[in-house]
Chain A
Amino acid sequence: MRARFWGVRGSIAVPGPTTNRYGGNTSCVEIDVEGMDPIIIDAGTGIRRLGKELAGGPFGSGNGTAHLLISHTHWDHIQGLPFFAPLYTRGNRLHVYARRRDTHLRAVFASQTESPYFPVPLDELRADVTFHELGDSQSFAIGPAQVRCTRLNHPWIALAFRIEHGGRSIVYASDTAPFRDILFEHEFIGQPPAPGAPLDPAEAAALSVMRQALVDLCRGADLLIYDTQFTPAEYRQKPHWGHSTPDDAIAIAREAEVGTLALYHHAPQRTDDEQDAILAACRAAVVGTRLRLVAAYEGLEVDLGSEVGR
């Protein structure tokens, strides 16, 4: 089992020399299991290059099938989809899995590319696109791989996914705020809570349950990919934006005895040098533990091998 990173950025794509090393494309990770159709998590701008690579194989002749897990439908997680080349070749199949809120997924994705926003509507795509609507907590199979999801603490709610095959497992948890200051549901939260304001006990209880479910999902995972958009200072300014810090990710990873934690969904303004410094500080903080740390960058491949093959 192998994870390949095609886009590691949050919010908006950020081209330019200060993001050349980590990359400026928004969220997209490919999970490869030998002999299986590719599993893709999120369709930020990074999916464009993945699509070009896939078009060099069976997808180029309309013989490909891919599975796309969408954490949530905020722009930075879907904006690359209309630029995914395999969609424009008849015969290809794309299975899209995402949480359903109040509208059928097909309608949500159709409105992404309807006039006047994009020239090619969903119904004119040549590939066969099937939508699979998920609830907050679900298990399903993609070929021989097992997938489980649980909800995260983010505006309009995002899903974390665990993908397991051959004794190896990867968890993708983006986007999420930590589980202590604000409970995010579907309402707009325009201001941070007043400093020191007590959290409603029912909301605190819901957050505690949500956090435990995420720790359970992450339990013993070989690789955990986690939203670490904020520095602690940024989080104090914008707790109502729904993102975490590396400290939050490390706490979850250690509690769940994860093998490797990948810092992910980097802030758009973060330069490569700043990201290097964040990674170095995080590594210093986990010295003496068994947790390995990487900061995701475009082109990073994490090969987990397989228990069967060892």
Chain B
Amino acid sequence: MKIRFWGVRGAIPAPGPETNRYGGNTSCVSVTGGRDQLVILDMGTGAMRLGAELMTGPLGRGQGSAAVLLSHAHWDHIQGFPFFPPVFVPGNQLAIHGNAHSSDMLEGILEGQMNPHFSPICTLKNLGAAIGFTAVVAGEEYDVAGLRVTAQPNPHGHTSALAYRLEEDGRALVYASDAGYPPAGPSREVLELYRGADLLIHDATYTPADRATRLERGNSSYACAASAAVAAGARHLVLFHYDQDYADDAVDDLVGACRAELDRLGGRDIRLTAAAEGLELEV
């Protein structure tokens, strides 16, 4: 699997020279499988550039397909969807999976985004692509574009966000954005989902000090991420979903502090990377 980061920010896009290095777009990650299948993790504003690039391939000719896994429906995880050019091309097929009680309700969430008060698109029916919706059930196994996908919910403020595990050819990628663990840390089911991941992309919105003043928001600090990675025996931790007020230098500091935390917890062998727009990794 090839992984590329298109948006690494939480809450709201943060344009400006101070975010040039890590990027100011909200959450979006693309995963390309061994047979060129495409899976998109969340559709924050980063999805616009991803979509523009995909328009040079089959998705530009109405002959493409992509799967989308949505962690949850907060704006920063769906606001790029109507700006993803392949959705306007008839013939394309999009399979959207997400966190909802039913597939109809998942469709209703994205339909609400197109409400004519808010969007000139007015309704999903005005998009050209054929779009299917699947509500993801925790613990069930899904075949998503030939990848084996499972999910577990993490608490996230008043709601929950799904963490996804994607497997292909014995390799595992875990995407865990917006994880607001209780003091005891991740649930047993979630730790099992993370277990031995070759790559763990994990919410690292805050420093521990900032998180302590914003516990109700339900996001992780880099220390939460480090401790989850060690507990689950992940091989490579990728910090993700930075606070909109953290300039590039502040993110640099998160990485340094997270390295120290990993080492302190006995995770010396765990590789550490800070997600940045344009970064490519391979599992």
- Interface residues, chain A, CB within 8 Å of chain B? 11-17, 19-20, 23-25, 45, 48, 73-75, 78-80, 83, 101, 103, 108, 111-112, 115-119, 155-156, 186, 188, 190, 241-242, 268
CB distance B73 to A80 under 8 Å? no
A-B contact sample (5 more), CB < 8 A, given A12-B80, A20-B16, A103-B117 = A75-B119, A115-B158, A117-B113, A119-B157, A119-B217
Once bound together, how far apart are the Cα atoms of A242 and B126, in whole Å? 16
Query: Is the Cβ of A24 less than 8 Å from the Cβ of B159?
Result: no
Q: Which residue of B lies closest to A9 (CB)?
A: B15
Q: Are A16 and B75 in contact (CB under 8 A)?
A: no
Report the minimal beta-carbon distance from A187 to chain B, rounded to whole angstroms: 9
Q: Which of A156, A242, A268 contacts B117 (CB 8 A)?
A: A156
Q: How far is the CB of A176 from chain B (nearest CB, A)?
A: 13
**B74/A119 in contact, CB under 8 A:** yes
Given contacts A75-B119, A116-B73, A117-B74, A111 and B14 within 8 Å (CB-CB): no
B20 at interface (Cβ–Cβ under 8 A)?
yes
**B109/A156 in contact, CB under 8 A:** no
Which of A12, A103, A155, A268 has most B Cβ within 10 Å?
Answer: A12
Pairwise interchain contact A16-B24, C-beta atoms closer than 8 A: yes
The A/B interface has a contact count, at CB < 8 Å, of: 115
- In the complex, residue of chain A having the shortest beta-carbon distance to the beta carbon of B15: A24
Query: Is B13 located at the chain interface by the 8 A CB criterion?
Result: yes
A12 touches B15 (CB 8 A): no
Q: Is B177 an interface residue (CB 8 A)?
A: no
A13 to B16 CA separation, bound complex (whole angstroms): 11
Q: Is B170 located at the chain interface by the 8 A CB criterion?
A: no
> Which residues in B have their C-beta under 8 angstroms from that of A188?
116, 120-123, 126
B residues at A contact (CB < 8 Å):
9, 11-17, 19-20, 23-25, 45, 48, 72-75, 79-80, 83, 99-100, 109, 112-113, 115-123, 126, 157-159, 216-218, 244, 277
Query: A292–B159 Cα gap in the complex (Å)?
Result: 51
Q: Which residue from chain A places its CB closest to the CB of B52 in the assembled complex?
A: A269
- With CB as the reference atom, state the residue of chain A lying closest to B109: A116
C-alpha spacing A16/B22, complex, angstroms:
9
**Residue in A closest to B216 when the chains form the complex, CB atoms:** A119
Tell me whether B13 and A13 are in contact (CB under 8 A). Answer: yes
What chain B residues lie within 8 Å of A115 (beta carbons)?
Answer: 158-159
A75 touches B79 (CB 8 A): yes
> Is A80 within 8 A of B12, CB to CB?
yes
CB contacts (< 8 Å) of B25 on chain A: these are: 15-16
A128→B101 CA distance, assembly (Å): 34
In the complex, the answer to whether A14 meets B120 with C-beta atoms within 8 Å is: no
A119 neighbours in B (Cβ, 8 Å):
74, 157-159, 216-218
Which residues of B sit under 8 angstroms from A14, Cβ to Cβ? 13, 15, 45, 48
| Chain B residue contacts of A79, Cβ below 8 A | 12, 75, 79
- What distance in Å separates the Cβ of B163 from its nearest Cβ neighbour in chain A? 17
Distance, CA A24 to CA B26, complexed state (A):
13
Q: Which residues of B contact A80 (CB under 8 A)?
A: 12
When chains A and B are docked, how far (Å) is the Cα of A73 from the Cα of B14? 21
Compute how far the CA of A112 lies from the CA of B11 in the bound complex, rounded to whole angstroms: 14
Cα distance A246–B24 in the bound complex, in angstroms: 28
